Structure formats: structure tokens, C-alpha cells
């Protein structure tokens, strides 16, 4: 480890005190202007781009990533602009580092949020199973449809418990018992390890920051503690709308989970297809 890595790792290891916005371990975050100038960077970014977070701020991202990668990402983002969704790119080579990364990006408060995680070698497995899982619900209706949806989301994600709430209706599929449940309303959509130390963003003053919308924003300390008390170490939330009702799949795991943008996208796809199946059931 060279001198910059030693200094950066000591700084990044400092506890992330509320109300500062931090990112979870295993993820990297860049907050960019609409012309892709770096406004904020997670303090572990040197592991991804080989440059200090201090060096990146106020500089164009193009100084630090390959031209082709930047071109491809900006083209993908141009198709997303004006929506509230999350765009993704898989197996991207940002720099001379041999490791590939998966990228998630979104538009939030007039900023571009770009998150990166190391790319797994099993790309395609999650997406390939969604169609079969949905087709298995073709003959289900009523509460059986909800129960089947929860079971199949658990099969897709591999989490220990999946709870489906849709208006006043509820279904659960669980492997073993948990201590209880927490209200996920204020939690990030994706929590990968409640035991891992969060990483600061730089500058640490979060005024005007859009990072609160980040997919892998770190949960606050009180939320981490509450999840741990209930035996929950990782969580994945998939909100969706069905027949005018606000619904959500909440997936919980007793063990830490590596972040996977493909898994998140596949779970979102399953939820969207499940919402259509619910609408058909309601109309029957």
C-alpha cells in the first residue's frame, strides 16, 4: 500500500456521524454536475480511480476515466434524463485498473449520482430467472398470489425473509425466525452490511447535496443498530405501485450481502411484472 492509500484509508475509516451523508463499504459514489464536473466523491474513491477524493473535486470526470467509458455512460444517461429511474451499466472498465465495475446512475436535484461496485463474474443469472418465476404465478389469485410473489422474490434474491405489503394486504416468506421487523420507510433501498463502517463523502458539508438519493447511501447509526437488534444484517427494498396502491417487497438477510446492481435491477423487474399480474387479478 502506498502513502496515499494509507492516508486515505485512515480518513475514510473515521465514523460517519449523523446527519452527514455517507456511502456503504464496497461502493463508490461520485456526485456530478450536469456537465459531469465532480462535486463530491466518496473518500474511498482512490481505490477505484487511483486519485484522491480531494484531487477529483471541481475537475471534469473525463480527466480520470477512459474516454470510451465516459462516452458510453453519458450516452446511457442521456436516455435516462427526465425520468426518476436508475440507469445501469455492467462490466465497465473505467481506468487502467483490470477490475471491471457495475455502474448505477440517476438524476437527483439537478445532479448526476454515479455509484460503482465491483462487477461479479455471474452476470445474467438473475435476469434469466425472472420470466420463469413470474410465469409460475399464472394460476394464482387473491392471497395465494401475494404469498407466491413473496416466495418467488425470496427465491430470486436468496434473502432469508421477504415481506410483501400492498395496501392493507401482506404476505411473508421466511427461512427460520427473526427477532422482529423494522419500519423500512427511512432506510436506504439497499443495505449490504450493517456491521461495516460507512465511508464519508468529500466535501463533508452536505449542503445542496443530492447524495441522500443514492442507492447505496449508508443508513444512520440508529437504523443500523435497530436492524442489528432484529437480527437483520442486510436489506433490499423494492417499492412499486400496483392498481393505485403503494406496495413494497422488503428482503432481509441474517448475513452480509455483496452489493449487486444486477440483482437490484432483476428484483425491480420482477416487481413490475408482479404488479401487472396483480392488476389482472383485481380485474378478474
Domain residue ranges of the chain, discontinuous segments joined by +: 3-118, 125-283
Q: What is the pTM of this model?
A: 0.87
Question: Does the pLDDT at position 172 exceed 70?
Answer: yes
8 A C-beta contact, residue 271 and residue 156? no
Domain 3-118 coded CATH 3.40.140.10: no
Confidence of residue 84 (pLDDT cuts 50, 70, 90): low
Mean pLDDT of the chain: 88
Question: Does the pLDDT at position 235 exceed 60?
Answer: yes
- How much of the chain is in helix, strand and coil states, percent to nearest 5? 35, 25, 40
Query: b/e per residue, 164-173, with b = 16+ CB within 10 A?
Result: bbbeeeebbb
Query: Minimum mean pLDDT among 2-6, 13-17, 60-64, 122-126: which range?
Result: 2-6
Alpha helix segments (H runs only) across the chain: 3-12, 46-49, 53-56, 67-80, 125-135, 142-157, 221-229, 261-283
Q: Confirm whether 3-118 and 125-283 share one CATH topology.
A: yes
Confidence of residue 127 (pLDDT cuts 50, 70, 90): confident
Query: Could you name the CATH architecture of 125-283?
Result: 2-Layer Sandwich (3.30)
Amino acid at each position: 500500500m502506498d502513502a496515499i492509500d494509507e492516508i486515505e484509508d485512515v480518513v475514510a475509516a473515521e465514523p460517519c456521524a449523523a446527519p452527514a451523508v455517507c456511502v456503504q463499504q464496497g461502493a463508490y459514489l461520485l456526485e456530478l454536475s450536469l456537465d459531469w464536473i465532480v462535486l463530491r466523491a466518496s473518500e474511498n474513491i482512490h481505490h477505484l480511480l487511483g486519485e484522491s477524493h480531494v484531487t477529483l473535486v471541481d475537475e471534469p470526470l473525463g480527466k480520470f476515466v477512459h474516454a470510451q467509458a465516459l462516452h458510453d455512460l453519458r450516452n446511457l444517461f442521456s436516455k435516462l434524463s427526465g425520468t426518476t429511474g436508475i440507469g445501469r451499466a455492467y462490466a465497465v472498465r473505467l481506468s487502467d485498473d483490470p477490475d471491471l465495475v457495475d455502474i448505477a446512475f440517476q438524476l437527483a436535484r439537478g445532479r448526476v449520482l454515479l455509484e460503482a461496485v465491483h462487477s461479479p463474474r455471474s452476470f445474467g443469472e438473475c435476469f434469466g430467472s425472472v420470466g420463469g418465476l413470474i410465469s409460475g404465478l399464472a394460476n394464482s389469485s387473491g392471497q395465494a398470489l401475494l404469498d407466491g410473489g413473496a416466495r418467488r422474490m425470496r427465491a430470486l434474491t436468496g434473502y432469508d425473509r421477504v415481506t410483501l405489503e400492498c395496501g392493507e394486504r401482506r404476505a411473508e416468506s421466511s427461512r427460520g425466525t427473526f427477532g422482529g421487523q423494522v419500519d423500512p420507510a427511512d432506510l436506504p433501498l439497499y443495505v449490504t452490511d450493517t456491521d461495516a463502517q460507512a465511508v464519508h463523502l468529500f466535501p463533508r458539508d452536505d449542503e445542496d447535496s443530492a447524495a441522500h438519493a443514492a442507492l447505496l447511501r449508508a443508513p444512520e447509526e440508529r437504523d443500523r443498530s435497530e436492524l442489528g437488534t432484529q437480527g437483520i444484517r442486510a436489506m433490499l427494498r423494492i417499492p412499486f405501485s400496483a392498481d393505485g396502491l403503494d406496495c413494497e417487497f422488503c428482503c432481509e438477510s441474517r448475513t452480509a450481502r455483496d452489493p449487486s446492481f444486477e440483482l437490484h435491477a432483476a428484483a425491480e423487474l420482477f416487481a413490475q411484472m408482479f404488479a401487472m399480474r396483480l392488476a389482472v387479478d383485481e380485474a378478474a
